[in-house]
Structure 1
Amino acid sequence: MRIATFNINGVNGRLANLLEWLGVTAPDVVCLQELKATQEAFPEEAVRDAGYGAIWQGQKSWNGVAILARGIEPIETRRALPGDPDDRQSRYIEAAVNGVLVGCLYLPNGNPAPGAKFDYKLRWFERLRDHAKDLLDAEVPAVLAGDFNVMPTEQDVHAPERWIDDALFRPEVREAFRELVDQGWTDAVRKLHPNDRIYTFWRYYRNAFSRDAGLRIDHILLSPELADRAVAAGVDRSVRGRDHASDHAPVWIELAEPKPRRRRRAG
């Protein structure tokens, strides 16, 4: 089972790139962020013609998240992060797909920091940790995938000294991510590539992509029920190099089939 996350940075403006990538790589599950489209403007027909069922939560001009499932319909379980009924930003959606609970998220950027946007980011992170703990307590195979807007360590950012005061790299945010993982989640890409410098995002200016001056801010976290099934992971960097590309590249993991349970012998 291949699960991918991709901040598309405008699903309609980059639809051709998305469909080409889906056709070439055929992931089983895709989490999309930054749809930048209203609920009605999501390109449902094109996505279905590509072979994917979909659920999505749109928002005009920015945000927006979606889960695509190849050949089947995702079974929606949640379309907002719990903990704040007044939060109207479209940043979380959740569905069951082939026995796996998939949470797709777009964590707030938080800049400028300090400030109101940074405070909102920390509150959102706290709500995410609370919900993530509930998922672990339920002992279900679960994935949290998306744009977390955090570089967990210096290994995850080109020229870390330039990002000290940025909301994506401030100590409070890195600590929040560490506390989330320490609940029992596995950062799948880092587990499989512990020593590699891997990036998932490159700014549009100063030739960041050609210089490989990137950040790793898109992550896939696995619950203990799935962690041992992760056999491969990577970043589809070539997608970032296409014309009119998103500033993110898709990140993916491969899960092996679950081992069959042994039947107890009748006594």
Structure 2
Amino acid sequence: MPTEQPDRSLSLLTFNIGGPSPERAGRQLAWLAQRPEQVLVLTETTPGDGCAFLADRFTSAGYAVAYPVPDKGERGVMIVSRLPMAEASPLSTAYLPYRAVSATVKTQAGPVDVLGLYVPSRDASPAKIERKQRFLDGLQATIAHGSASGRVVLGDFNILEPDHDPRYATFRPFEYGFYSWLGDNGYHDAFRRLHPGDREYSWVGRTNDGYRYDHAFVSDPLSGLVDDCTYVHEPRTVTRLSDHSGLSLRLAVAGDEPLVVFDPTVLPEPETLF
């Protein structure tokens, strides 16, 4: 009787880790190590000890890790993969580059570019508004034409869809406009393709207002391959690993031969002379 083959479908998880302390990073590592996704896009990284711990543990366990360390006081993205990665680097935006990290993974249908985003949040100050708009404008210039190649854009966008329920008057036209721009330029909201009418929130404020901040968009060549896209609420609602839910995406395309990896929660045995 033939043995059942493991699912090799390309799967990704985006999860806001919130610049963790070493203690919280240890708990996040234990959860992430058990996740089935092949590629992890971890947003809101910092140059702190918690993020360095995660990067070191995954690297020591054989994972491919892209972690351009942000400048002091800044935030960024880390990509961790059980598939070989090529060309992993901050996106060539001229502004806040650590918030847009790109890597390429090989699949049986050709290379897939994975772009992890952590879009700046803002308050009502003109400086913060200008900062966010400048970052989004730079992205539009850099990732235009999503019909050209296989690309997945995912992360904490800190924006909402224009028909978000409820609609918040505090969000400006340029923020809703970026979501619309993606759709107009060959990108598809993977969650909405499968769940057009569902109300799901990845972040909930203190007044119990829900926001769908975390997204996964796929370019035209991948749009018909979206097999599953669901929010993972446990780390936000139960274990309190973050104030964000994760978002899991699976594409009906097989990834390349995976790396040989080990449990990152277990320290490797020290080498001996005998």
Task: Please report the TM-score for the alignment, with normalisation by the length of structure 1.
Answer: 0.80
User: 2:99 aligns to what?
Assistant: 91
The code of the aligned residue for 2:122 comes to G
1:126 aligns with 2:137: yes
Q: 1:1-267 to 2 correspondence within 5 Å?
A: 1-13=10-22, 14-38=24-48, 42-43=52-53, 44-48=55-59, 52-59=63-70, 60-70=72-82, 72-82=83-93, 84=94, 87-88=95-96, 90-98=98-106, 99-112=111-124, 115-133=126-144, 136=146, 139-155=148-164, 157=165, 159-160=166-167, 163-165=168-170, 169-203=171-205, 205-206=206-207, 208=208, 213-257=209-253
What runs of 5+ residues in structure 2 fail to find an aligned partner? 1-9, 255-274
Shift of 1:49: 5.1
Report how far residue 50 of structure 1 moved: 5.5
Which one has more relative contact order, counting CA pairs under 8 Å at least 6 apart?
A: 2
- After superposition, the CA RMSD in angstroms is 2.3
Which residue number in structure 2 is paired with residue 265 of structure 1?
Answer: none
Question: How big is the shift at 1:20?
Answer: 2.9
**Partners of 1:221 and 1:41 in 2: CA distance:** 25
Flag the 1:102–1:250 CA change in 2: closer, same or farther, 3 A. same
Which whole-Å CA distance do the structure 2 matches of 1:190 and 1:41 have between them? 31
Equivalent position SS for 2:81: strand
Moved >4 Å (runs of 4+): 38-41
- Work out the CA distance in 2 between the residues paired with 1:117 and 1:241: 29
**Residues 25 and 50 in structure 2, CA contact (< 8 A), matched pair in contact too:** no
Once the two structures are aligned, what percentage of the paired residues are identical?
28
Displacement of 1:6: 0.9
Change (3 A) 1:100 1:12: farther
- Secondary structure of 2:117 counterpart: strand
More strand by share: 2
In the other structure, the counterpart of 1:261 is none
The amino acid that maps onto 2:222 is L
C-alpha contact (below 8 Å) 1:234/1:251 kept by paired residues: yes
Paired residues, number: 238
Q: CA deviation at 1:224?
A: 0.8
**8 A Cα contact 2:19 2:50, kept in partner:** no
Counterpart contact for 1:12–1:42, Cα < 8 Å? no
Q: Unpaired runs of 5+ in structure 1?
A: 259-267
1:236 Cα deviation (Å)? Answer: 0.6
Shift of 1:38: 4.7
Looking at structure 2, the residues matched to 241 and 49 of structure 1 have their Cα atoms a distance apart, in angstroms, of: 30
Normalised to the residue count of structure 2, the TM-score between the two structures is 0.78
Change (3 A) 1:250 1:58: same
Deviation, 1:221, is: 0.8
Letter in 1 for 2:203: F
Distance 1:41 1:33, change over 3 A: closer
